[in-house]
Amino acid sequence: MKKPVFCLALATVDCGSASDPQTASRRAVPRRPAAFVALLTAILLAMIDCTSADAASKSKANQIRYEYAPPKNPEHQAIHDQMKQGRALETLQKLLSPLLLPYPLALKVAGCDGVKNAWYNDEVITVCYELLADFLKNAPKQDLPIGISRADTILGPVLDTFLHETGHAVFHMLQIPVLGREEDAADQFSAFITLRLSKDEARRMILGSAYQYQLHMPGPQVTVPIQAFSDEHSLPAQRAYIILCIAYGSDKKLFSDIVEKDFLPKERAESCEGEYEDLAFAMTKLISPHIDKRLARKVNEVWVQTVSTRRARLARP
């Protein structure tokens, strides 16, 4: 999803009462002797290390908060009520509770004056009722023949949206370095976390999410304005292929039919195991140290406790 101005100020390190280290060092260079500059640089680097260590030491689990903002548009009242009664944000809170974060992260659903979007900004993930209404509107009337229910085509993209934005939050709050496009990294973060659910649930959520993306590619030939290629996000079709490829790469047996049915072209499928391994390596090296492993083992249990009720509610339009 799109995000507004994405505050990366923390990436330059907040050193408490100290002035901006980058600005200070830029100012110092032309006027100071080299030895002094080296000393100053060493002090500033030490401050950066201290700040990072300090932030890490303050990280803890159960940092997720949530808010059901009252809808601005009366048409969204039913979505608000259904989510609140179904304790949807409470479930997401529990799912994300293993994240060790230095300060709280809020999950919020809110009216966005007609904007169908979601974003992360200032430690708050906002998902618009307008976007949720769109997922409902786009869901098929019947279950799909590939073993995906109508409810999965709603639950999948909702979960993916929150996890994608959580990816941005994690990169920001934990100062995780990102190579390549952050939007693609957030999509991959979401797919990787989704694949930690049980096999059946992971398959349902991945394919449900891909379903909503594939609505934007109604046939084998697609015409888009040239500006679409300048977007910071990959195109919807590419985003669908990214998550299908990660899923297939993680378990070729579980997702074998997506290649057999040509949802994922064979040419791309050949590289998916390697793409998944690259992602798993990055997640293990960079994200895993910030996960409470004891709480993480309960994630699937949390999901299963509530998903069947939610699936029943969304079974029919």
CB of 182 to Zn ion, least distance (A): 7
C-alpha separations of 295 from 34, 160, 298 in Å: 50, 20, 6
**Phi/psi-derived region of residue 113, left when phi > 0, alpha when psi is between -120 and 50, beta in every other case:** left
Of residues 47 and 178, the one with the C-beta less far from Zn ion:
178
Q: Which is nearer to Zn ion, 149 or 190 (CB)?
A: 190
What's the helix, strand, coil split of the chain in %, to 5? 60, 10, 35
Least separation in angstroms between residue 57's CB and Zn ion is 29
Question: Smallest gap, in angstroms, from Cβ of residue 110 to Zn ion?
Answer: 17
Of 1 and 205, the one with the shorter C-beta distance to Zn ion is 1
Residue of 117, 70, 109, 114 whose CA lies nearest to 89: 109
Other beta carbons within 10 Å of 176: 17
Report d(CA 216, CA 222) in Å as an integer.
9
Q: How far is CA 147 from the centre of its chain?
A: 25
Residue 125 or 207 with smaller CB distance to Zn ion: 125
- Least distance CB 232 / Zn ion (angstroms): 8
Determine contact, residues 102/53, Cβ cutoff 8 Å.
no
Nearer to Zn ion by Cβ, of 82 and 234: the residue is 234
Of the pair 152, 183, the CB lying nearest Zn ion is at 183
The distance of closest approach from Cβ of residue 208 to Zn ion in the complex, given in angstroms and rounded to an integer, is 19
Would you say 202 and 210 are in contact if contact means Cβ atoms under 8 Å apart? no
Instruction: Write out the residues near Zn ion by the rule CB under 5 A.
Output: 1, 3, 183, 186
Q: Minimum distance from CB of 116 to Zn ion (Å)?
A: 14
- H-helix or E-strand spanning residue 160: helix 152-173
CA distance 140 to 152: 10
* φ, ψ at 263 (rounded to 5°): -65, -35
Please report how close the Cβ of residue 183 comes to Zn ion at its closest, in angstroms: 5
139 near 150, Cβ under 8 Å? yes
Q: Which is nearer to Zn ion, 44 or 242 (CB)?
A: 242
